[in-house]
Amino acid sequence: MQDLYHWIDGREVQGSSGRFSDVYNPATGEIIARVPLASAAELDAAIASAEKAQIGWAATNPQRRARVMMRFGQLIQDNMDKLAELVSREHGKTLPDARGDVQRGLEVIEVCMGAPAMLKGEFTDNAGPGIDIYSMRQPLGVVAGITPFNFPAMIPLWKMGPALASGNAMILKPSERVPSTSLLLAKLAQEAGLPDGVLQVVNGDKDAVDALLDHPTIQAVGFVGSTPIAQYIYGRAATNGKRAQCFGGAKNHMLIMPDADLDKAADALIGAGFGAAGERCMAISVAVPVGQKTADALIERLIPQIEKLKVGPYTAGDDVDFGPVITAASKTRIEGLIASGVEQGAKLLIDGRGLNIQGYENGFFTGPSLFDHVTRDMDIYKEEIFGPVLTTVRTDSYQDALDLVMDNDYGNGTAIFTADGDTARDFASRVNVGMVGVNFPIPVPLSYYSFGGWKKSAFGDLNQYGPDALRFYTKTKTVTARWFSGIKDGASLNFKALD
């Protein structure tokens, strides 16, 4: 078993709190490492180091910071297989999916290479007699990122890239379930030329989170996780005068219209519903066919495809479609929700419970499950399952289907499959969800846009990555400058226009 560490001031630091958390291989159920949980004193030391290092990093011109991002991106690319192996080992997702995890994070770093262009201020020459007005974007100082288990590479990179490119120092607290990827990324950032102390990785649990939220030096907090915790972090951060962007849970619907290509819609639902064992905040967990004929035809296509899905350890390579869920507790919760669906009257067409894989009997595996005739009052509809379970809610009309999405508490992502442009345009315009796919099941925007949900899926005004992230991690200063060039207007006590 491996003992992990914190990354503080550019070096490995063993934990001194005496508290540890076990890190599992979800495929085997074995403890493969233990990670130290930081004390308040350890966090104080990391934050003090970051505060000191940030001064010089902020004074580094944006182009030089961008060059560090460029080298960092190349090192991520060079270490893709090593990073993907760490992701798969601690999370359980397949290696191709893990590479996608790293790649989508790398794309944000690539956009951050162009940060100097996005950090430019504005200038107005001669706004009044001898008066120029200009604005500048300046870093906040020391910021924090708190990231989840389901994307061990992507979301830490979403947080650290824009924060560092903007001239901030960052305290990154990854999920204690998947810490190794963030620790390797910190080493690669140092190798790329990031000064010691600018990026700290401090492992911890709720105690560490609360210490970050309460520490006066931390100026902003970015979080991804469940909705209750997102709401808690947002409220506590705001109370302490910090900026916060907190992204929570989801219940993503995909509408299937009668004119849709049902083969493509079924393919999309398989990938979006069961990829990464459903442990994605943008997973499609609710299929919404419009019309009974559409529903029957869709189910007819889904069943044989789902029955062919292969579940197993990532080490099985291409023979596996998805792996285990993250913990034994997650497996128990998912299978409990499946049982509740049966008890509450939904029709369980494929039951993934009780999956036993030879040689991996202690792994946290649950097979794919498919429900039909689900209603909005059932627990499997109301709760985010975060597992390989696809539910089907039948509707009689497009308006009924739209209302179902609009009435849901969550607003992360949604999709519609249709051949009709008017319907697609109406749906994209009216639906109260932050990210919309048209004949596209997982509408995660490319990295030069921004990612963010609505309603109970997000708390805060600005989204992740893209232009919004650089706005979030900087503050605007506006300067009004006057140069006297023979102007003689005397003293005035009146508030007046500059012109």
Active-site annotation, residues: 281
DSSP one-letter code for 377: T
CA distances from 44 to 144, 198, 212, 385, 473 (A): 13, 15, 9, 37, 21
Give which of 455, 459, 463 is closest to 231, Cα–Cα. Answer: 459
Please calculate the CA angle 153-154-155 and round it to the nearest 5 degrees: 100
Give which of 336, 345, 411 is closest to 372, Cα–Cα. Answer: 345
Q: What is the identity of the amino acid at 292? A: Q
448's tokens: 């030069």
Distance of CA 290 to the CA centre of its chain: 31
Please report the beta strands in 67-194, taking only residues with DSSP state E, as ranges in sequence order.
123-128, 131-139, 142-146, 169-173
- The number of residues making up the chain comes to 499
Three-class DSSP category at 24: strand
Please report the beta strands in 59-180, taking only residues with DSSP state E, as ranges in sequence order.
123-128, 131-139, 142-146, 169-173
Please calculate the CA angle 181-185-187 and round it to the nearest 5 degrees: 120
* Contact present, 287 and 390 (Cβ < 8 Å): yes
